[in-house]
Amino acid sequence: MRILVTGAAGTLGRAVMSVGTSHDLLGVDLVDGDLTSANAVDHLFARHDPDWVVHCAAYTDVDGAESDRETARRVNGEATTNLIKCCDRDDVGLTFVSTDYVFAGKNPDGYGERDLRDPVNHYGSTKAAAEQAVEAMTAPGQIVRTSWLFGPGSSNFVLTIRRLLGSRPSIRVVDDQRGCPTYAPDLAGVLLFLAENGTPGHFHGTNSGACSWFEFARAVALADGWPSDVIQPCSSQEYPTPARRPACSILRSETLEALGCAPRPTWEDALDRYLNLLRVEESR
C-alpha cells in the first residue's frame, strides 16, 4: 500500500515510518505542506497518489489550546477536513488519531468505543469535532483514540520525569487522574494493522493496563534505581493547569479484538522497552 503519513516528524509519525517497512510509506510534515490549506493538501495528494492516509499530525499542547484556541481548531479541525475532502474525492481511506480527552472522565470504569463524547477542554473539543467529520466520510474512515503517548522523540512524560529526578530531591505528581500509557511503536503497529484491514469504525489503541500519573512516574523512578519515596502524590487541585483534565480517561477496547488485532503489551512492558532503548542511546 502507498500510505501517506502526516506528522511524520512527530513521535507517533516517526514510529509509523519505522515499523511500516512492508509498505510504501510517504511521510510528510509541515515543511512539505500546511494541512490547514486545502490547496496544499490537494498538491500532496496529486504528488503522492496514496491508497490510504494515516493522520498523525495534530496540535497536542493541551494547555496551549486554551489560549491559542484558533490555532488548535485549525490544526486539528480544518486540516482533518481538508484531508477528508481529498480522501472522499479519490476513495482513499483515512486513519485518524484521536484522544482520550474527547471524554469527560466521570466514569471510573473508563470508556468504550461507543460511549458519547463530552470533552472538558478545548483540545478535546477540537478532536471531537474532527471525529464527527471522519464519521461523515464517504470513503472508509477510522477513528483511533489513544492516550498518554510516550516513545522515541524530543519530549514526553517519561523524559520529563527522568530530567526532574536528576535536579530535585522529590517530585509531586497528580494521583487522581487515571489513563493508559501508550508506547508510540506499539500504537504504530495498531495503526498499520487498521490501514491494512480497511474496516471503518471507532477503535481504542493503547497499551493494556491503566495507572495514575503518579504511578506512571513512580514506575519510571523505580526502574532507574531511585527510591520509591522520591515520587510523591498530590491532587489535581494542588497542581492546577490551564486546561481541565479528565479524572478517568481509561480507554476500553473491543473493536480491535473483534477484527483480530493482537493483544497489546502492558504499559509496564512498554516502559521497560523504552527505558532500555534510552539506556543504550545514553551509553554510546
Contact indicator for 170, 231 with CB cutoff of 8 Å:
yes
Orientation of helix 157-165 relative to helix 267-283, angle to 10°: 60
The pairing of strands 211-212 and 178-179 is antiparallel
* Residue whose cell numbers read 492516509: 53
CB environment 143-175: b (16+ within 10 A), e (fewer): bbbbbbbbbbbeebbbeebbebbeeeeebebbb
How many CB atoms lie under 10 A from the CB of residue 263?
10
Query: Active site includes 59?
Result: no
Q: Which among 144, 107, 118 has a CA at the least distance from the CA of 249?
A: 107
Name the active-site residue from 59, 123, 183, 274.
123
Cα–Cα dist 70/49, whole Å: 30
Q: Distance of CA 16 to CAs 134, 193, 211, 250, Å?
A: 21, 11, 25, 23
Residues annotated as part of the active site: 123
